[in-house]
Structure 1
Amino acid sequence: MSQSIEVVIPVHDPARPLERGIHSVLAQRAELAELGVDLRVTVVCHNIPVDDIKDSVTSALSTDDAVTWLGHRDGIKSPAGPRNAALDQSSATFLSFLDSDDYLEAGSLAAWWKAAESHGAAAVIAPLRTPEGSILRSPRIRPSKPAVLDPVRDGLAYRSVPYGLLRRESLKTCGFRYEEGILIGEDLEAALKLWFRGGPTVYPYAAPAYHQTDASGPARVTSAVRPLADEFRWLDALVQSSWLLQATLAERRTIALKLLRVHGIGALIRRGSMAGSVQAPVWSAADQTAWTKARGQFLELAGGALPALSRRDAALSRAAAAASGESALRDAVVLHSRSGRLGELLTDNPLSLLAADSVLRHYVNERRRTKSGVFALR
């Protein structure tokens, strides 16, 4: 075989539907072999004995020569460590990371490989099918369906996780690595560095997808509400990254805007919506301080201003920095939800209403993306 693909599956719990994920990969062996591509799977048993995980699948799978069982202990509830461990020991041409509760659709790896080879791509962003069955409309690809994506013009920052097919040499060149030691956000900088510095990135239009499920259950790490400072630990390292400090203003601004919109405003809405309805406090003086710091980091990253931020998001961002208690945050979130269409569409800076990153331009392009079939179902 002239090339190879290694699918890495970290797993920490034998109750996860690991067998389904492995089957979804190995079922594609023959198709890839015809293309001259060798296929293997590496299961990283995270903070659990390898035999405990092997016993959770059939003996045929546990003894399959195409499956490598790798143990990794770091005592941290984050997939960063096991993913990095697999990356360090890999010799494959391409890597693909698969969560243990998800699976790959039939024909996906061959379709992604063909897209990578056609354009010499460093990365193929996988179509991502949600548990509900639709294709995630991200990143914000131009309606013209470009063959090779532009990090800024095609909104690659809006795809936070590097699901798909990743050329290993490109990962090494750009210094791709998951951030260890944090519970959430471990893949944010890794994905951004890959999209913006890794090399050509493509999207395989209408190809079979990476299929997410809701089988992870209530214990999933990212589902908990924790102190805001912990939730934004990834931001401290990101804003000090040399590659980002050297990025153009357009690159830094599009990244900062996405991070504030999705991760920042999302965290505020989640907390404000829960305020008063749960026993544990969801907003404290420490959270207010953490938000004020994070908001300042977003703005500094963007060169001091985010003119395309919607009027309602900008208002909530400012209100949270002044919210000294749960009731104040709850009131700010309620006001955000009642801001209406104008609050959503109008930008904080009126001159940026038609900017490429504005909500209005996004909605217009969403209609055009639907017509051109950017995210058409297969």
Structure 2
Amino acid sequence: MTPGVSAPEPIVDVVVPIHDPTRRLDRAVASLLHGDEPIRVTVVCHGIAATTIDSQLPDDRARVRVVEFADGIASPQGPFNHGIDLATAPFVMIMGSDDYLEPGAVAAWLEHVEAGGADIVLAPLRHQSGELLLNPLSRPRRRTRLDPVRDRMFYRSAPLGLIRRDVLDERGLRFTEGAQTGGDQAVSLALWTGGLRIDFDRRAPAYVIGSDARTRVTTTPRSMRVLAGPVFELLASERARAQPARVRRSLATKLLRINVLGSIVPRTGVDAWSADDIAATREAISSIVGFAPGGLDDLCRADRALIDEISRPDVDTERIVAAIARHRSAGRFARTFPRTLSRSLSRESVLRRYANYAVVRWRP
């Protein structure tokens, strides 16, 4: 902070890690300091010198502090935790250095806190292209006291928005350090199922996910073993295993749909699959199904066919690639309806999701 200049005690501490001085940190910081809200931005220089980002910081640094942090791990989890450990404000927030907020975002989120005492205020998400992400796809017109199952909270693994700091501190919640990917899954599970008041107004100004960086650490191509690691850890945790059946089932469906299938389908060539990739994928499927067998029931037929093929003990690379090709060319019926038609309108079904998309876009 600028010597001799004091700032009001912050209500929100925002943690912004940066590992590459070419990132658009200036845009992120400017969007946070756009209004008059008492915000303090903590820029965590991850493995780089603080002097390398001087040109990206505002002249008035009364609301900005810069710290250095090095753990030798290509993951944002360590610097996120370091910044949260330094926080003293009632609320904390994390932000990627490529991302930014729409004007008025923090003010709108704080209104929820003042109006109802929320523990967490989720930020609406928007791609830099302008597309609004319906994530989580909560019940239409539901803006307060979200439920982890009824409001499909598990599809929102990144806890972006405002979080009461004492919730994190008193419950000992931090991101999973050392995780190259999925380091937010354990903390989000704890937050979504912790009996907290969670508010979400998708009409509020959004958190914008930047897309103009050359690479993002969290989207770097990785082996299936690395991608599956957080799934194994999450399902083995005492917190996950203690959840009631409805929560376990909802979580399992999300993991199969997003973590497993979302990692499989892009791997369309034989060179994208090693023997260990196949083994890790089969282990992940087996772990999820063992955790909550009902998690398979609401998947569409195309998804089930791909999972069944990879789960075969004699599967090889060529068969997996062929199964992915069939999945990608599947017709609308196979991509919409589950094998048991009576599950077509269950909460996690594709058809129910499409119906919710339509309702939410028509009447948010």
The equivalent of 2:359 in structure 1 is: 368
The equivalent of 1:357 in structure 2 is: 348
Deviation at 1:130, TM superposition (A): 0.6
TM-superposition CA deviations, 1:9-29 (whole Å, max 9, x none)? 00011101111111111122x
Aligned partner of 1:230 among 223, 226, 234: 226
Deviation at 1:320, TM superposition (A): 1.8
Note if contact 1:7-1:42 (Cα within 8 Å) is conserved in structure 2. Answer: yes
The equivalent of 2:298 in structure 1 is: 308
Instruction: Return the alpha-carbon distance in structure 2 between the equivalents of residues 302 and 198 of structure 1.
Output: 22
Instruction: Return the alpha-carbon distance in structure 2 between the equivalents of residues 316 and 236 of structure 1.
Output: 20
The equivalent of 2:331 in structure 1 is: 340
TM-superposition CA deviations, 1:317-365 (whole Å, max 9, x none)? 1112237443211110111122211111221333322211111111112
Instruction: Return the alpha-carbon distance in structure 2 between the equivalents of residues 188 and 308 of structure 1.
Output: 22
- Identity across the alignment (%): 35
In structure 2, do the counterparts of structure 1 residues 367 and 283 end up closer, same or farther at CA, with 3 Å as the change threshold?
A: same
Aligned partner of 1:156 among 142, 153, 157: 153
Instruction: Return the alpha-carbon distance in structure 2 between the equivalents of residues 10 and 305 of structure 1.
Output: 35
The equivalent of 2:278 in structure 1 is: 288
Aligned partner of 2:243 among 225, 242, 247: 247
Structure 1 unaligned blocks of 5 or more = 33-37, 374-378
Structure 2 unaligned blocks of 5 or more = 1-7
Q: How many residues align?
A: 356
Report the AA paired with residue 346 of structure 1: F
The equivalent of 1:260 in structure 2 is: 256
Deviation at 1:112, TM superposition (A): 0.4
The equivalent of 1:147 in structure 2 is: 144
User: Aligned-pair RMSD on alpha carbons?
Assistant: 1.8
Q: Does 1:192 align with 2:189?
A: yes
Instruction: Return the alpha-carbon distance in structure 1 between the equivalents of residues 63 and 180 of structure 2.
Output: 31
TM-score scaled to structure 2, two decimals?
Answer: 0.93
- Of 96-105 and 189-198, more deviation after overlay is shown by 189-198
Instruction: Return the alpha-carbon distance in structure 1 between the equivalents of residues 80 and 149 of structure 2.
Output: 27
The equivalent of 1:35 in structure 2 is: none
Report the AA paired with residue 248 of structure 1: P
Instruction: Return the alpha-carbon distance in structure 1 between the equivalents of residues 196 and 280 of structure 2.
Output: 34
Note if contact 1:157-1:192 (Cα within 8 Å) is conserved in structure 2. Answer: yes
- Of 296-305 and 334-343, more deviation after overlay is shown by 296-305
Deviation at 1:224, TM superposition (A): 3.2
Instruction: Return the alpha-carbon distance in structure 1 between the equivalents of residues 51 and 9 of structure 2.
Output: 32
Q: Secondary structure at the match of 2:131?
A: coil
Aligned partner of 1:75 among 72, 76, 87: 72
Q: Does 1:15 align with 2:22?
A: yes
Deviation at 1:305, TM superposition (A): 4.9
Report the AA paired with residue 352 of structure 1: R
The equivalent of 2:3 in structure 1 is: none
Q: Secondary structure at the match of 1:270?
A: coil
User: Which 4+ stretches in 1 moved above 6 angstroms?
Assistant: none
Instruction: Return the alpha-carbon distance in structure 1 between the equivalents of residues 307 and 171 of structure 2.
Output: 33
